[in-house]
Amino acid sequence: MTALLQARNLGVSFRYGSRTSQVVRDVSLDIPERSVFAVLGESGSGKTVLARTLIGLEPAGAEVRGSVEFSGRPTRPARPAARRKLLGREIGLVSQDPAASLDAMRTVGAQLAEVLRRHERLDRRARRDEAVRRLEQVHIRQPEQVVRKYPSELSGGMRQRVSIALALCGRPRLLVADEPSSALDAIVGARVVDLLDELRCTTGTSIVFVTHDIGVAARIAHEPQDRVAVMLHGRFVEHGPAAEVLTRPRHAYTACLLAGEPSAAIPRGELATVPRELRDADWGPPRQVADGHWVCEEAA
C-alpha cells in the first residue's frame, strides 16, 4: 500500500547552551490513504512535537534530522508559496485549543470566507453560502446564525467544530489532530472524535491523531488499516495495527498502560502510572514481531 505520508529516521532536538535535549528519536512511519495513525503517549513523551514536525511546523529552534515526505514531496519545501499551498490545501491542522486557529475579533463566517477565498474561486455570496455548508458538514445547528457569531459566543465543543471546518476548507488529504478532545468534557470530546471518524469516511482524509487517552485512541483507530504508535521518551516503543496493539500488546510499557484501564471496553481514561524502572529502561531499536507490528526490546 502506497504511503500518503512517510517519515524515515526522524529526530528532533533542542539546544540549551551546551546541552542538547532529544525530543523525538529515530521515528519511522508510513500513513496510507484513508487511514488513522494514532500517536499515544503521556505528557512529555514528544508526541505533539512529532506531529507538528511531520508537517513542517516544528517549534522554533528545533534541529530536525531524517526525512518526511507527503505524496513523494518534502513537507518543508524551500519556497514559501509551496509551503503555504501544502499546509493549506493538502494538509490541515486541528489544535487542542481552538483559540490557536480562531480569531477572537472576527466572526465565524468571516474567518471561513477568508480561508475559502484562498482555496476556492467563489464570489462573496457564494463564499457565504459555502461557509454555512461547511458548518453543516461538522454538524453545527443553525449554521446561518453561527456564521454571524464571534468565537467567544460559542461553547468549547462548537469552537472545536468550527476549527475542524476551517481545517477542511482546503479539502486536505491529511488532517493532523493534536489532542482535539482533551480540553472538552467527556461527552463533547467523544462527539468531536466521532465527527473526525465520520469525516475520515465521507471525505477520505487520513488522520494523524495525537492523544494521551487510550479510550480515545481505540475510538478513532478501529478500522483494519488503522495503526497505533505508543511513544515513550521520544520514540515508538511499540507500533502496529490498532487492534493488535490495543488488545494484544507486545511491549511491557504498552501492557502496563492497558492494565490500568478500568474495563476491557477501554472507556475514556488517563494513562496508568508506570513503574520508574520500566519508564527509565534503555530501549533498543524496534524489531518486527509480526506483520507490520514493531516492538523495541531492552538494550543489553
Model confidence pLDDT, tens digit, residues 196-205: 999 999 999 9
Residue type, 203: T
Average the pLDDT over 96-124 and give the result: 90
Q: What is the pLDDT of residue 34?
A: 93
Residue 38's CB is within 10 A of a number of other CB atoms, namely: 29
Contacts for 188 with CB less than 8 Å, ≥ 6 apart: 155, 156, 157, 181
* pLDDT surpasses 90 at 285: no
CA distance 213 to 21: 25
Give domain status of residue 249, yes or no. Answer: no
Which three cell numbers, joined as nine digits, stand for 157? 465543543
* pLDDT surpasses 60 at 69: yes
CA distance 41 to 18: 28
Distances (CA, A) of 22 to 16, 30, 46, 85, 92: 11, 22, 9, 30, 26
pTM of the model: 0.91
Host domain of residue 124:
98-172
Q: How many domains does the chain have?
A: 1
Number of DSSP helices (H) and strands (E) in the chain, helices first: 11, 12
* pLDDT surpasses 60 at 107: yes
Give domain status of residue 191, yes or no. Answer: no
Lowest-confidence segment of 95-99, 139-143, 171-175, 176-180 by average pLDDT: 95-99
pLDDT band (50, 70, 90) for residue 87: confident
CA of residue 113 relative to chain centroid, distance: 25
CA distance 230 to 245: 9
Average the pLDDT over 126-145 and give the result: 95
pLDDT band (50, 70, 90) for residue 300: low
CA distance 203 to 118: 20
Give domain status of residue 220, yes or no. Answer: no
Helix (H, G, I), strand (E, B) or coil at 243: helix
- Name the packing angle between helices 156-167 and 124-137 (round to 10°): 120
Lowest-confidence segment of 59-68, 126-135, 182-191, 207-216 by average pLDDT: 182-191
Q: What is the pLDDT of residue 36?
A: 97
Which three cell numbers, joined as nine digits, stand for 42? 503521556
Average the pLDDT over 8-36 and give the result: 94
Average the pLDDT over 204-214 and give the result: 95
Average the pLDDT over 89-95 and give the result: 92
Beta bridge partners of 230: 40, 238
pLDDT band (50, 70, 90) for residue 264: very low
* pLDDT surpasses 70 at 10: yes
Give domain status of residue 231, yes or no. Answer: no
What is the average pLDDT score of the chain?
89
Average the pLDDT over 50-62 and give the result: 92
Give domain status of residue 141, yes or no. Answer: yes
Give domain status of residue 119, yes or no. Answer: yes
Query: In the chain, what's the furthest Cα-to-Cα distance?
Result: 66
* pLDDT surpasses 70 at 273: no
Average the pLDDT over 216-230 and give the result: 96
